[in-house]
A and B are shown apart, each in its own frame.
Chain A
Amino acid sequence: MASQIDEQQVQHVASLAKLKFTDAELSEFTPQLESIIDLFETLEKVDTTGVKPMTSATDQVNVMREDVAVNSNQREALLKNAPEAENGYIKVPAIIDESGDAE
């Protein structure tokens, strides 16, 4: 099965990933992704009936710790890395664009 990823699908995945591509980028990325997804599809050849998926290689099971509240009190230090902060909060623009020309 050849993969069927086209520019429209790439746009859709980009919107899920909070990325945006220009038309030029789109025509560059689409064949690249298509070729890699073709590689992914070689896995179809392997019979994995009844094989349990492996999601971690750790040797630890059910690690517990005491539920103790700590106050690391690092707000000021943390906010220094925020692009915009005010009164101890991180500042972001309005969720809904009020200027009316949002896409």
Chain B
Amino acid sequence: MNFYETDLTQLHDDLVNKKISATELTKATYDNIKAKDDQIEAFLTLNEENALAEAKALDEQGIAADQLVAGIPLGVKDNIVTKNIRTTAASKILDNFKPIYDATVIEKLKAQNFINAGKLNLDEFAMGGSTENSAYQVTHNAWDLTRVPGGSSGGSAASVAAGEVLAALGTDTGGSIRLPASYNGVVGMKPTYGRVSRWGIIAFGSSLDQVGWLTTSVKDNALLTSLISGHDEHDLTSSTREVPNFGAQLNDDTNVKGLRIAVPKEYLGEGVDEKVKTVIKDALKHYESLGAIVDEVSLPHTQYGVAAYYIISSSEASSNLQRFDGVRYGVRTNDVKNLEDVYVKSRSEGFGDEVKRRIMLGTFSLSAGFYDAYFNKASQIRTLIRQDFENVFKDHDVVMGPAGPTVAYKIGSTITDPKAMYMNDVLTVPVNMAGLPGMSIPAGLADGMPVGLQIIGKPFDEETMYKAAYTFEQSTDFHKAQPNLGGQN
């Protein structure tokens, strides 16, 4: 089964019409995974036995026409809790953790009888941009196995790009869906903060985290995003707004005539690779040829985004990760003399270096004497970043630029320099800071590696973004490019 040659709607129709059975599709998915994952190393846990049993039961009862994902195996990032299926967040401290409940996004998909193919690798607790911070394995970019898949949803992106699964869930706190989507030549959407419930997402930065999809096509992404969106009483920051059927709006009449595109000069400035700039400029020219209006604008606080983001996200992380203390769940160190030992030794042995750095930075930023200079200052900068976007959106519909300043880099090349790694997030973190929706779509290749065009929308206006993305996709061939797995492209 080549998932690049089909899509969600086609598979659904084939399942409903019994052209293919859920069992056949599930077996084909695991055949894909087994053929490729020795090289990609995207999966941490396979759910094969349960998946085949669920597929069999579904085949016996028939696939309902109103359940779009019924019988379709999809991947799940391993920081999304899944009942009775090991959930590690790629951390040793959760090595033995089997959640007793499902995240809301999983509950919604289960209500539609989706099949959970398995759990996908990430940077430990979603902290990182390369998936090298996983405590378990290094995931490889399907386009070039010597390069990173990006992160933190690197397992999700690589698995979709390698054609192992049709789509996978990821999470995005500062770019963790968009960067890997860009690096792997797939479509990744981080919806507006509040669009999707965070209940059951292992919390990293609670005011920044969102759940979204990595897919090979814009329409699949749009259809799947509608399925997981909506208010949830378990997450009181989730929005009560109505959820449009994003996929239903994408058809032959969809166009970008008159679409007002803002291109921040900071997004094509210093620090962005020249070849990446060329790909993005060509994409913008293509939008103009399709009838869109492209203007240069300025988001003057962009340069402060990374510093402010790392203060806020690390502060929230240091608080959220206090719960991992070896008491109620997770791994407890054996050699302990008292309760303090349980906390300190379990945490010191259970967390990896990057997680410790973030906890340290957060604890420092919140500590007595430093709170005003760091956390409060960063929160004020956050206001300014949001105002920058509000000003631009007064007379533009979307903002566009690259998702990352470079293409995927070599495994091992930045892992020893945390600050260099953080700077890769310069074009994605402002979106989380402002709570806006952001996506990355394939826009071409630079040196044989995929480049993602980032599209940023107004709050809760994913619809306009999907239409812009769909129009681009349907009028170009970039999304059809597939990695030549194992070989050099």
| Contact surface of A with B, Cβ cutoff 8 Å | 5, 10, 13-14, 16-21, 29, 32-33, 35-37, 39-40, 42-44, 46, 48, 51-60, 63, 65, 74, 77-78, 80-84, 90, 92-97, 99, 101-102
Contacts and interface: CB of A to CB of B under 8 A. Distances in A.
Given A81-B328, A90-B328, A96-B338, A32 B381 contact: no
B146 interface: no
B386 interface: yes
A53 B326 contact: no
A38 to B, nearest CB: 9
A83 B366 CA distance: 30
B337 A39 contact: no
Contacts of A17: 318, 347, 359-360, 363
Contacts of B119: none
A51 B331 contact: no
A61 to B, nearest CB: 10
Contact of B327 (A37, A63, A65, A90): A90
Given A29-B360, A53-B383, A42 B418 contact: no
Given A19-B348, A35-B419, A55 B311 contact: no
B306 A13 contact: no
A81 B83 CA distance: 12
B307 A39 contact: yes
Contacts of B348: 19-21
Contacts of A65: 233
- The interface residues of chain A, by DSSP majority, are classed as loop
Contact of A48 (B342, B377, B386, B418): B377
B344 A40 contact: no
B312 to A, nearest CB: 9
Given A18-B343, A37-B364, A83-B327, 18 more contacts: A13-B364, A17-B359, A17-B360, A17-B363, A29-B353, A29-B357, A33-B357, A40-B311, A43-B377, A46-B301, A52-B380, A54-B382, A54-B433, A65-B233, A74-B100, A80-B100, A82-B329, A92-B339
A56 to B, nearest CB: 5
Interface in B428-442: 433-435
Contacts of B391: none
Interface in B306-352: 306-308, 310-311, 318, 322, 325-332, 336-345, 347-348, 351
16 contacts: A10-B360, A19-B344, A19-B348, A19-B351, A19-B356, A32-B357, A33-B360, A33-B364, A39-B419, A43-B377, A53-B379, A57-B435, A81-B97, A83-B330, A93-B342, A99-B337
- The interface residues of chain B, by DSSP majority, are classed as helix
Could you say which of A52, A57, A81, A102 has the most chain B C-beta atoms within 10 Å of its C-beta?
A57
A95 B339 contact: yes
Contacts of A92: 327, 339, 342
A43 B308 contact: yes
Contacts of B393: none
A64 B339 CA distance: 37
Contacts of B304: 42-43, 46
B365 interface: yes
B378 interface: yes
A33 B376 CA distance: 19
A63 B232 CA distance: 11
Nearest to B240: A60
Contacts of B351: 19
Interface string B173-214: 000000000000000000001100000000000011000000
B360 A20 contact: no
Contacts of B327: 82-83, 90, 92
Given A19-B356, A40-B365, A93 B418 contact: no
Instruction: Give the 7 A-B residue pairs with the shortest CB-CB distance, closest first.
Output: A57-B435, A53-B379, A83-B332, A81-B329, A58-B237, A97-B338, A48-B380
Contacts of A95: 338-340
A65 B231 CA distance: 13
B436 to A, nearest CB: 8
A44 B361 CA distance: 17
A66 to B, nearest CB: 10
B419 A59 contact: no
Contact of B379 (A54, A58, A81): A54
A5 B370 CA distance: 12
Nearest to A96: B338
A34 to B, nearest CB: 10
Contacts of A53: 376, 379-380, 382-383
